[in-house]
Structure 1
Amino acid sequence: MIIARSRQELQAALDTKRGSIGFVPTMGALHIGHRTLIEAARRENETVVVSIFVNPTQFLPGEDLSKYPRREEADFKICELSGVDVLFYPDVAAMYGSDEVRVCAPDVRGFILEGASRPGHFDGVLTVVMKLLNMVRPSRVYFGKKDAQQLALITQMVENLFMDVKIVPMETVREKDGLALSSRNVYLDEKQRVEALKLSAALKEATKMVMQGNLDAEKIKEAMMNLLKPLDVEYVAVVNRQFESLKEVVIGNTIVLVAARVGTTRLIDNVWM
């Protein structure tokens, strides 16, 4: 495995490779969910590139940038064991200069749900993803569906800017008890870990209601809110793939989303229907 820490080192590493490139951008603290993305990239491409970069421009003032989990040695080992060919591990200076051009999230979809509570967050996400895609120039790039709004906006950016890369969405990976895997789960103590299961339980209830023929979005959200008590719920939403609010679930074109704080840890989850 080649470890590249600058654009020049990355380019030199990629110049030695041939065929399709599968790319998995991450912020590190790798878990089984990340390994699933890497394994898919390994199956479908000749070369696999993983990036690890905790992107400062997507964190708002007061958020957990300085506390975000960093496990360099473990992450490197996971990448090596997963068959990664090139690991891109830049620092901030390698990614950003001063007074830069930035990519802006769309005026509507970039400022609802996650964007409403974290204004400017998706500007940072799209900017760093644009940079990474331009540097790696992958054939395919792999993202998990758990960050559904992020996935939708990156897909829109690729389409709007005519970028030559295929977005590959991957199913959310969960613990046996249903908790969606997240690097932020390490912040949860034992009691909070149990409380966090209310997010997946609420989504299971939404799925059950839809399977029973109850497609009313307000009734689904009400049932979910009852199960989420007493968590600090930021939002429960029923939207289509374009992130437009729905009055009724449309099978094959609906995402049910939830964001809540468990203690001081902010968690998100969703189910695609």
Structure 2
Amino acid sequence: MIEKLKIIGQYILPKHLVSRLAGKLASAKAGKLTTFLIKQFIAKFKIDMSEAKHSEPGHFKTFNDFFTRELREDVRQVVEGDENIAMPVDGRVSQLGAIKMGRIFQAKGHDFSLRELLGGRDDIAAPFDEGLFATVYLSPKDYHRIHMPITGTLEQLIFIPGDLFSVNPLTAENVPNLFARNERAVAVFSTAIGPMAMVLVGATIVGSIETVWGGTLTANAKKEIQYWDYKDQNISLEKGAEMGRFKLGSTIVALFPKDSVDFTQGLQAGSATRLGELFATTNVTTHAIK
């Protein structure tokens, strides 16, 4: 009964209004109040601040500064070797597997459209049909910067306005088309194994989604899908480099083309993930990106 009430609450909650208010609070420089909230958050979610570059709550001027905190350089090692794909985030695998007939598995009884996830563009979706996907949930305690699994050159960015349902496991099991209905950003890269897409999915009280090359992404007044073409701008990011971040947490969906990679043995729904660890291995002959 409690779980049903939580799901009903997701539908009736004014999610965009709540998220805007949360975003303003999170970006406010409120001095002692900000420090107090950060301390409470650390205690509630048992966050290991020894991994952070700055471990003292008082260092952060806003809650967003704390939430998007940097890690110390020595706490995450990115797997080496051109044949090895690195885990892009700390979190937990929600689902992973094959994209079948243009559909991606969400949870028992639920799947969603690859094409819809990527903003309705057949040309963008086609290379990933029959490929592989991995959906990774970032909980409030996790590190919230997203890094590159493989070296890539940015081709396109799509920002798709939408709902802001929570993306926790309970919601994923009960809200149809969750990841293809929530607000999201899709970054498509060319890589040595072909195209790769990183989908950053927004959620309730997520203050914003940012990319390292374009800053904060926001919906326009008409709530239209926005497309940016980067093919001529030569924006390349090395494996392990930061590519974006969430303010107040969410989910990523990584997409790979057919016959390009194999997920590391033992990785499955429920697996904890750590940035930089082995995510997958290539099964095609790689070549340098020019």
Same fold (TM over 0.5): no
**Which has the larger share of helix?**
1
Give TM-score scaled by structure 2 length: 0.25
**Which has the larger share of strand?**
2
Give TM-score scaled by structure 1 length: 0.26
1 or 2 for the larger relative contact order (CA 8 Å, sep ≥6)? 2
